Amino acid sequence: MTIHHPWDDAPGEGRAVELAADVLWMRLPLPMRLNHVNVYAFRDEDGWTIVDTGFDTGRGRAIWQMLLDGPLAGAPVARVIATHQHPDHIGLAGWFQDRGAALWTSRTSWLFARMLQLDAQDRVSDRQVAFWRAAGMPADRLAARQAERPWNSADVVHPLPLGFTRLVEGQVVRFGSRAWRVAMGNGHAAEHVTLWSQDDDLVIGGDQLLPGISPNLGVYPTEPLANPVQDWLDSCARLAALAEDRHLVLPGHKLPFRGLPARLDTMAENHESALTRLAQSLAERPRTAVDCFDVLFKRSIGDAEYGLALVEAVAHVNCLHQRGLIAQVGVTPDGGTVWGRDTAPDLR
């Protein structure tokens, strides 16, 4: 079965679409190329359970107030489920907690989100600069980045108070008149929560299960030797054992869809193909991670996408290195790590 979208259009601002009994689909805007995040509400006896929240901005709060007063009919939000720690998914969780909601998420998601929200920086750290330099960021771009105030999670994430309810692999939880099995994904985010209804065909996919696009698989200075690409491929294989064509997947972005088994195969194949292309290219000509953009993405990368492209390129290089297919073969005059097969390039 190929991907099928039962709904052609997303709900408008402040509106909701009913996907199933007591299940609402809504959207919040994002100020970036991927300009939205999906959020969902499940009716419970004590109010609503919502899944993911959008950024903590004045506009985001105003839209949520429209939703609370409108489609959610003034009933309280009893709990927030954050599928993972990225700001577009957990940004307003603390705001809802301040209004009396409980937060459910994985331990890693809560710890990472809270750490990043508290770790506001007014200048780029030396370790961040060293990471960019090793990846092959050109000197002029590196200097420009150093002169800018860095983006901080705290810019769009409400403070998270102490206390959350941990979701763990294999656990069964109840909300929205359904029992849900917790299955964790990895790669895009550590301990990414997906939820599989035991009573009907609904699956809450977050960014682990997306149609049409693949989520960013990035390496950051927090864990520079991480291998999120392999984590992602392993997760696709594990989740494939649960996936059925009947499932209606509620994704973090784009439109709800059916055809999950085929989609998991496609997502895995896309990254394996990228790894194969990259390994072949590096065998012919050693490169830094940044120099791999054309091979990996097969298109021009603009300023708005550059940061995400860099961390994803490092991730694919790390995967090939840990598979034993490439090695460090040199260093550029600017300090970039050069990857290839065996022979060091003449770069000086």
Q: By three-state DSSP, how is residue 239 classified? A: helix
What string of DSSP letters covers 76-111? -EEEEE-SSSSHHHHTTHHHHHHTT-EEEE-HHHHH
8 Å CB contact between 205 and 81: no
Per the listing, tokens 């109840």 go with: 174
CA pair distance 272, 266, nearest whole angstrom: 10
Full strand arrangement of the beta sheet holding 47-51 = 17-20, 23-29, 36-44, 47-51, 77-81, 102-105, 165-166
8 Å CB contact between 203 and 194: yes
Q: Cα 97 to chain center, whole Å? A: 22
User: Could you count the other beta carbons within 10 Å of the beta carbon of residue 346?
Assistant: 6
Return the structure tokens found at 328.
């460090």
Closest by CA to 338, choosing from 317, 322, 324, is 317
Phi, psi dihedrals of residue 110, rounded to the nearest 5°: -65, -45
Per-residue pLDDT of the chain (348 residues; tens, 9 = 90+): 689 999 999 999 999 999 999 999 999 999 988 999 999 999 999 999 999 999 999 999 999 999 999 999 999 999 999 999 999 999 999 999 999 999 999 999 999 999 999 999 999 999 999 999 999 999 999 999 999 999 999 999 999 999 999 999 999 999 999 999 999 999 999 999 999 999 999 999 999 999 999 899 999 999 999 999 999 999 999 999 999 999 999 999 999 999 999 999 999 999 999 999 999 999 999 999 999 999 999 898 999 899 999 999 999 999 999 999 999 999 999 999 999 986 544 443
Domains of the chain are: 17-122+152-269 (3.60.15.10)
8 Å CB contact between 339 and 329: yes
pTM of the predicted model, to two decimals?
Answer: 0.95
Q: By three-state DSSP, how is residue 35 classified? A: coil
Q: Where are the alpha helices (DSSP H) in the chain?
A: 58-69, 87-90, 93-98, 107-118, 126-135, 139-147, 228-240, 260-284, 293-297, 303-322
Per the listing, tokens 């998601």 go with: 109
CA pair distance 14, 7, nearest whole angstrom: 18
| Cβ burial, residue 24 (10 Å; 0-12/13-18/19+) | buried
Amino acid in the structure at residue 342: D
Return the structure tokens found at 116.
């990043």
Q: What is the pLDDT of residue 345?
A: 43
